[in-house]
Chain A
Amino acid sequence: MRLLGVLCIVGGWVLAVGGLFITPSNAGRMVFACLGIALSLYGNLGVLNGYYLERAIWKK
């Protein structure tokens, strides 16, 4: 799950930067960048943090 989280986070960056090569329009690049940021945040706060929440000290 941690690996999946890290892959999502890095994948978000790849998506954002990849947009620079996929389209020359600012609007298109903005969409790719926003999608990439959203994916990174999901990987970070959703997947990775979810892993740690499952093992949280206050649940024990």
Chain B
Amino acid sequence: MKGRFGVTNLLLAAIGFISVLSVAAPLWAEEGSTVITGVAAPKSDDIAGKGDPGAELTGTVNDVTVADSKKGLTLADLANQAGQNKVAINFVWTLVTGFLVMFMQAGFALVETGLVRAKNANHTMMMNFMVYGLGLFAYWVCGFAIQMGGSAPIANLGGVYPLNHEFVANLFGKPWGLFGTKGLFLSGATYDVGIMVLFLFQMVFMDTATTIVTGACAERWKYSAFAASTIFLGALTYPLYGNWAWGGGWLSQLGANFGLGHGYCDFAGSGVVHAVGGLTGLAVAMQLGPRIGKYNRDGSPNVIPGHDLVFVLTGCFILAFGWFGFNPGSTLGASGNGCLRIGSIATNTMLAGCTGSLAALLYMWIRYGKPDASMAGNGLLAGLVAITAPSGFVNTVGAAIIGWVAGILVCLSVEFLDRIHKIDDPVGAISVHGTNGLWGVLSVGLFADGRSNYGGSWNGVNGNVTGLFYGDAGQLVAQLIGIATLLGIVFTLSYVFNWIVDVVVGQRVGARAELAGLDIPEMGALCYPDFQLKTADYGAGTSGSVAAPAVAKR
């Protein structure tokens, strides 16, 4: 009896459940496409008749894309439109800031060309011009894949899910992400709208690193050697370090694997872009040796003035303008968690550049009695380089201090390399980008104020990025490991490859070509054919630090 009653109840319950399902299931299925009614929309006839001068009728429910016009506007349509709007805002933001960074090439070209002698202007300009083509090609072939091939997901750009494979070596019980493998030639599944945006933005960053080297090696570098060196930097050295820092590689995982803060943090590339470029410049400049006439027989340096300070300072302004793409653009979006910090990042960038310029100007003025134009320009760039890594993690006071230190540091570094180590750097690129790139990396570990993490976790570690001054010593250790890697691995890679180039094709032009100026021997055309160049005055005799002319005069 008991059993029979149980079976009846079971049958009734089953019938009831099926009845409920049959009613509810369509509702569940349709939940995402619930039709929305009652939304007032302007009539097209109104707009056609009067236009919309007050911007009150444009951008309404009429503009939301409807999947099924018979059904009308649904909740799913609204959700899809909201998602697409977010990604669209981020695409436009990232592309436009990428375009700004691309324009920085013009700034670098002007600064470097202005700081060299007129007889080398075509050669210097053409190096800056062709880093774009050479670097881009190498980066498209394999550089991007090595750097970002395992970086998915990046939510701000719609996921970029095809970039999903990182080569990881398991050493000493820890995973070490070494390089990405997806995205060679941007082919296959990586033919993806989000990945194209990411590629463009990362490519112009890589290009910045390659153009730094041309400044340190100006006025004596063979064009063929420059071309080979640039391709290697764009194809391998830069992407490797970029992967370790930004592509999910081992430096970025120092927090997750070793408990060091949030791992190596480099918001926009003081290390990845500037220190890589500056240290590569150091490696090549060392091998090239100083220009003829730069040092006297007793080792004292001479001044080799640049030929156009107007170029130099105009270039600095263009670079400062482009930096508003460099740093704020590194959020990879203007809509998403933490992305509204773009205002803070832009302000930090502006402040550090200003304090850097001011500090360098005052330093030179107090120490040598005159405000030095080229060093004021280099101070501006030094401040901008230094704030690049911490720009997303510090407050305005921190930014101002970082820039101030950078402005003085660039003057000291130019003197140090010029006088003590006798490394000839015609434009001060090693000091501006190398020294201050390292300072920028370090400053994250000191000044990060623990107020930002851009979406809950940075490098897979929950919480905010916090430096030593705000309570996290581990973050400083992570930054120091990044610096050790730049000095120990990036420099070595650049040195060894450029040594091979030196053996195979030779890095340095002949003495006769150097004295004549590289425009004719290397490029086949003068930059200023209608002008009388004072080659003999500067070629073999008086020369010295262009980056710090006042330094060598005393």
Which listed residue, B172, B254, B421, B483, touches A49 by the CB 8 Å rule?
B421
**B323 touches A (CB below 8 Å):** no
Contacts A36-B488, A41-B487, A49-B421 given: A58-B496 contact, CB under 8 Å? no
Are B289 and A56 interface neighbours, CB within 8 A? yes
Given A9-B487, A10-B492, A20-B258, answer yes or no on A49-B473 (Cβ-Cβ < 8 Å).
no
With A45-B421, A58-B296, A58-B297 already in contact, the answer to whether A52 and B289 are too (CB < 8 A) is: yes
CA distance A58 to B295 in the complex (A): 6
A26 to B476, CA, bound (A): 9
Closest to A5 in B: B495
What residues of chain B lie closer than 8 Å to A59, measured between beta carbons?
297
Query: Is A37's CB under 8 angstroms from B483's CB?
Result: yes
The chain B residue sitting closest to A35, CB to CB, is: B484
Size range of the chain B interface in the assembly? 35 or more
Report the bound CA distance from A53 to B290 in whole Å.
10
Interface positions, chain A 5-40, Cβ under 8 Å from B, are 6, 9-17, 20-21, 24, 26-27, 29-30, 33-34, 36-37, 40
Q: Is residue B201 contacting chain A, with contact meaning CB distance below 8 A?
A: no
Some 16 contacts from A to B, beta carbons below 8 A apart, are A6-B495, A9-B488, A13-B488, A14-B488, A15-B484, A24-B259, A26-B260, A30-B473, A30-B477, A33-B480, A33-B484, A44-B487, A44-B491, A52-B289, A56-B295, A58-B290
Is the pair A33, B422 in contact by a Cβ cutoff of 8 Å?
A: no
| Contact A37 B421, CB 8 Å, known A48-B495, A58-B296 | no
A33-B297 Cα distance, complex, nearest whole Å? 39
Query: Taking A21-B172, A53-B422 as contacts, is the C-beta distance between A12 and B484 under 8 angstroms?
Result: yes
Question: Which A residues are CB-close (under 8 A) to B78?
Answer: none
Query: Given the complex, which residues of A lie within 8 Å of B476, measured CB to CB?
Result: 26, 30
Question: Which of B289, B295, B474 is in CB contact (< 8 Å) with A26?
Answer: B474
- A49–B492 touching, CB < 8 Å: no
Q: How far is the CB of A57 from chain B (nearest CB, A)?
A: 5
Per the 8 Å Cβ criterion, residues 473-519 of B in contact with A are 473-474, 476-477, 480-481, 483-485, 487-489, 491-492, 495-496, 499
Using A6-B496, A30-B473, A30-B477 as known contacts, say yes or no to A56 and B487 having CB atoms under 8 A apart.
no
A30 to B519, CA, bound (A): 49
Q: Could you mark each residue 256-280 of chain B with 1 if its beta carbon is under 8 Å from any beta carbon of chain A, else 0?
A: 0011100000000000000000000
Judging by beta carbons under 8 Å apart, are B495 and A10 in contact?
Answer: no
| Min CB–CB distance B292 → chain A (angstroms) | 6
Beyond A9-B492, A13-B489, A45-B421, is A36–B477 a contact (Cβ under 8 Å)? no
Alpha-carbon distance between A26 and B299 when the two chains are bound, in angstroms = 43
Q: Are A40 and B487 in contact (CB under 8 A)?
A: yes
Residues of chain B lying within 8 A (CB to CB) of residue A10: 488-489, 492
The answer to whether B335 has its CB under 8 Å from any CB of chain A is no
Contact of A49 with B484 in the complex, beta carbons under 8 Å:
no
B residues near A13, Cβ cutoff 8 Å: 484-485, 487-489
Interface string of B280-301 (1 = CB under 8 A from A): 0010001101101011110100
Number of interface residues of A (CB under 8 A): 35
Q: Shortest Cβ distance from B495 into chain A, in angstroms?
A: 7
Q: Is the CB of A52 within 8 A of B487?
A: no
**Distance, CA A53 to CA B285, complexed state (A):** 12
* Apart from A16-B488, A58-B295, 12 more pairs, CB < 8 Å: A9-B488, A10-B488, A10-B489, A12-B488, A14-B488, A20-B258, A33-B477, A33-B483, A36-B484, A37-B487, A41-B487, A56-B289
B111 CB–A CB distance under 8 Å? no
Chain B: minimal CB distance from A46 (Å): 9
In the complex, the answer to whether B480 meets A16 with C-beta atoms within 8 Å is yes
Let me know if A52 and B287 touch, CB within 8 A. Answer: yes
Kindly state the separation between the CA atoms of A22 and B65 in the bound complex, as whole angstroms: 59
Q: Within 8 Å of chain A (Cβ to Cβ): is B351?
A: no
A21 to B254 CA separation, bound complex (whole angstroms): 12
CB-defined contacts of B548 to chain A, threshold 8 Å? none
In the bound assembly, the distance between CA atoms of A7 and B519 in angstroms comes to 38
B residues less than 8 Å from A6 (CB atoms)? 492, 495-496
B252 to chain A, nearest CB (A): 15
Residues of B within 8 A of A17 (CB): 481, 484-485
The minimal Cβ–Cβ distance linking B275 to chain A, given in whole angstroms, is 12
A33 and B481 within 8 A (CB): yes
A37 & B299 in contact (Cβ 8 Å cutoff): no
Say if the beta carbon of B423 comes within 8 Å of chain A: yes
Q: How many Å lie between the Cα of A58 and that of B424 in the bound state?
A: 12
> How far does the alpha carbon of A17 sit from the alpha carbon of B493 in the complex, in Å?
18
Distance, CA A29 to CA B477, complexed state (A): 7
Q: Which residues in B have their C-beta under 8 angstroms from that of A45?
A: 421
In the assembly, what is the distance between CA of A17 and CA of B482, in Å? 10
| Chain A positions within 8 Å of B296 at CB level | 58
Complex CA gap A32/B316 in Å reads 38
CA distance A11 to B423 in the complex (A): 23
